[in-house]
């Protein structure tokens, strides 16, 4: 029997609550499809600080290294907000994990079911069938990591800060590959977003993407858009996009815009794929909901488990090659919502169910 091993890092706030739901769904999926899942759990974020003195304890990192993927909850909360910035749960756990596993590709589906249109700040008539798109963001290059990165006092007493935006052809090609693979399973339409009218890195980005797509995937319809226009177009008509491919900072901003137009954070999942391959010759990845620890509702049993469950489905697809199992989970979540099961964040006047009842509804439909 095929066996997949993954690290479970539930984190803080609603993290452990929704993680329980995701694990139940994964187990049922494994039973149905005849593969085995082995997981071990370890503290991260605030739980890591409380139990082992730091947000990413050594034992947690060791567990991740022994695993083929990481299923991550979310980290942080008021209890740890007064720590120095470098020790804060998010910064001191997610960033080192991204670095340790060279997680260069952030895959963020932007999905809004038609029946949840009221959750979007956009007028429902603009998105009558909801929203279905994916943002592929380069995650380890660009202005967040380029050197020099410094602040200095000049001879005339003025102060200057410098960030450097750097991209290599090889970095652009490997993220283009992820966009190609994603588009192959969808409508074969990719929009590459840059600022090629101003930035050297964007001129290279556009050239490399154009040449790479022509060579590797000529069947995919590739378009280009400046980032300022993309921000407007997302708010005006999001369904003109299917797959957006973009660099780190532009992706940071656009993927959050995409999240807000898709309504509740409780429905949005993400994958961060690494350069390394696991024992199944598939990418090592970290899978997590787009939202945070929701301290306002933590511990009440009312969090929406869908984002965590959909993140688990992404893990099955990308790191374990179980595309059909992943699609079934996605359909079960959709069917539960269509059948009227809603947690408070997506209820809109309908009766709201708690985390457990929502999970049960999804399990029944799987
Ligand atoms: P948040 O995403 O935790 O919450 C924003 C709003 O969305 C809240 O009203 C919350 O109740 C709601 N929400 C989020 N997920 C939900 C779910 N699954 N079901 C129902 N409602 C949900 O953002 P915030 O309040 O800005 O941050 C809270 C803490 O989370 C902070 O400490 C922040 O640093 C941390 N955070 C962590 C991550 C991460 O671990 N990747 C990401 C974002 C924020």
Please tell me the predicted confidence (pLDDT) of residue 264.
Answer: 82
Is residue 293 assigned to a domain? Answer: yes
Between the CA of 356 and the centroid of ligand 1 the distance, in Å, is 19
At 248, the pLDDT band (50, 70, 90 cuts) reads very high
Mean pLDDT, range 297-322, rounded to an integer: 97
Query: Which among 261, 292, 308 is the end of a domain?
Result: 261
Q: Is 305 close to ligand 1, i.e. is its CB under 6 Å away? A: no
Is residue 57 assigned to a domain? Answer: yes
* Shared domain check, 277 and 236: no
Q: What angle do CA 307, 251, 55 make, to 5 degrees?
A: 60
Query: Which among 261, 276, 296 is the end of a domain?
Result: 261
* Shared domain check, 242 and 281: no
Query: Which among 261, 282, 306 is the end of a domain?
Result: 261
Active site annotation includes 228: yes
CA distance 66 to 60: 10
* Shared domain check, 290 and 212: no
Mean pLDDT, range 172-177, rounded to an integer: 98
Buried b (16+ CB within 10 A) or exposed e, 245-276: bbbbbbbbebbebbbebbbbbbbbbbbbbbee
Which class for 230: exposed (0-12), middle (13-18), buried (19 or more C-beta within 10 A)? buried
Q: Domain containing 207 — which CATH number? A: 3.40.50.2300
Is residue 28 assigned to a domain? Answer: yes
Is residue 252 assigned to a domain? Answer: yes
The overall average pLDDT reported for the chain is 96
At 53, the pLDDT band (50, 70, 90 cuts) reads very high
Mutate to test the pocket of ligand 1, among 268, 271, 293 (most ligand atoms within 8 A of CB): 293
Is residue 159 assigned to a domain? Answer: no
Please tell me the total count of domains within the chain.
2
Is residue 161 assigned to a domain? Answer: no
Catalytic hit among 195, 212, 287, 345: 195
* pLDDT > 90? residue 29: yes
Please tell me the predicted confidence (pLDDT) of residue 70.
Answer: 98
* pLDDT > 90? residue 349: no
* Shared domain check, 55 and 25: yes
Q: What is the pLDDT of residues 80-96, one digit of tens each?
A: 999 998 899 998 999 89
Q: What is the pLDDT of residues 176-204, one digit of tens each?
A: 999 999 999 899 999 999 999 999 999 99
Which of 83-87, 250-254, 283-287 has the lowest average pLDDT? 83-87
Mean pLDDT, range 206-223, rounded to an integer: 98
Please tell me the predicted confidence (pLDDT) of residue 348.
Answer: 84
* Shared domain check, 254 and 129: yes
DSSP label at 191? E
Is residue 133 assigned to a domain? Answer: yes
Active site annotation includes 252: yes
At 105, the pLDDT band (50, 70, 90 cuts) reads very high
Please tell me the predicted confidence (pLDDT) of residue 16.
Answer: 98
Q: Domain containing 101 — which CATH number? A: 3.40.718.10
Q: What percent of the chain has pLDDT over 90?
A: 92
* Shared domain check, 250 and 132: yes
**Residue owning tokens 């209890």:** 79
Which backbone phi and psi does 82 adopt, to 5 degrees?
Answer: -95, 5
At 218, the pLDDT band (50, 70, 90 cuts) reads very high
Catalytic hit among 79, 144, 163, 226: 144
* Shared domain check, 196 and 273: no
Please tell me the predicted confidence (pLDDT) of residue 85.
Answer: 86
pTM: 0.94
* Shared domain check, 271 and 254: no
Active site annotation includes 123: no
Provide the pairing of β-strand 269-277 with 103-112: antiparallel
Pair of tokens at residue 103 = 């997680």
CA distance 246 to 80: 33
**CA dihedral defined by 293, 297, 302, 305, rounded to 10 degrees?**
-10
Q: 300 lies in which domain range?
A: 1-118+264-366
Q: What is the pLDDT of residues 13-24, one digit of tens each?
A: 999 999 999 999
Q: What is the pLDDT of residues 110-132, one digit of tens each?
A: 999 999 998 899 999 999 999 99
Mean pLDDT, range 200-216, rounded to an integer: 98
Is residue 35 assigned to a domain? Answer: yes
At 276, the pLDDT band (50, 70, 90 cuts) reads confident
* Shared domain check, 127 and 256: yes
């Amino acid at each position: 029997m095929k066996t997949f091993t993954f690290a479970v890092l539930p984190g803080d706030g609603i993290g452990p609550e929704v993680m329980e739901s995701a694990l139940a769904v994964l187990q049922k999926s494994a039973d149905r499809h005849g593969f085995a899942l082995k997981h071990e759990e370890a503290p991260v974020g605030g739980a890591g600080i409380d139990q082992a003195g730091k947000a990413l304890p050594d034992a947690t990192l060791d567990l991740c290294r022994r695993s083929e993927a990481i299923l991550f909850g979310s980290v942080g909360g008021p209890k740890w907000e007064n720590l120095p910035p470098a020790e804060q749960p998010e910064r001191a756990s997610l960033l080192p994990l991204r670095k340790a596993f060279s997680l260069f590709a952030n895959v963020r589906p932007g999905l809004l079911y038609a029946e949840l249109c009221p959750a979007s700040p956009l007028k429902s008539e603009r998105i009558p069938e909801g929203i279905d798109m994916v943002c592929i963001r380069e995650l380890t290059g660009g202005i967040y990591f380029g050197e020099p990165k410094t602040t200095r006092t000049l001879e005339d007493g003025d102060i200057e800060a410098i960030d450097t935006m750097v991209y290599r052809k090889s970095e652009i090609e490997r993220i283009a590959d992820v966009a190609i693979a994603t588009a192959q399973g969808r409508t074969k339409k990719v929009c590459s977003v840059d600022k090629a009218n101003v930035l050297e890195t964007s001129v290279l980005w556009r050239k490399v993407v154009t040449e790479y797509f022509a060579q590797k995937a000529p069947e995919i319809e590739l378009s280009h858009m400046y980032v300022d226009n993309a921000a407007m177009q997302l708010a005006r008509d999001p369904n003109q996009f299917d797959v957006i491919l973009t660099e780190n900072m532009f992706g940071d901003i656009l993927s959050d815009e995409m999240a807000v137009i898709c309504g509740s954070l409780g429905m949005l999942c993400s994958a961060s794929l690494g350069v390394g391959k696991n024992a199944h010759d598939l990418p090592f990845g970290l899978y997590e909901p787009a939202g945070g620890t929701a301290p306002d509702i933590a511990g009440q049993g009312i969090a929406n488990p869908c984002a965590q469950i959909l993140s688990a489905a992404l893990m099955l697809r990308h790191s374990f090659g179980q595309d059909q199992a992943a699609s079934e989970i996605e359909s079960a979540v959709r069917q539960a919502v269509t059948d009227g099961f809603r947690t408070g964040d997506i209820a809109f006047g309908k009766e709201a169910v708690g985390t457990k009842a929502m999970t049960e509804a999804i399990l029944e439909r799987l």
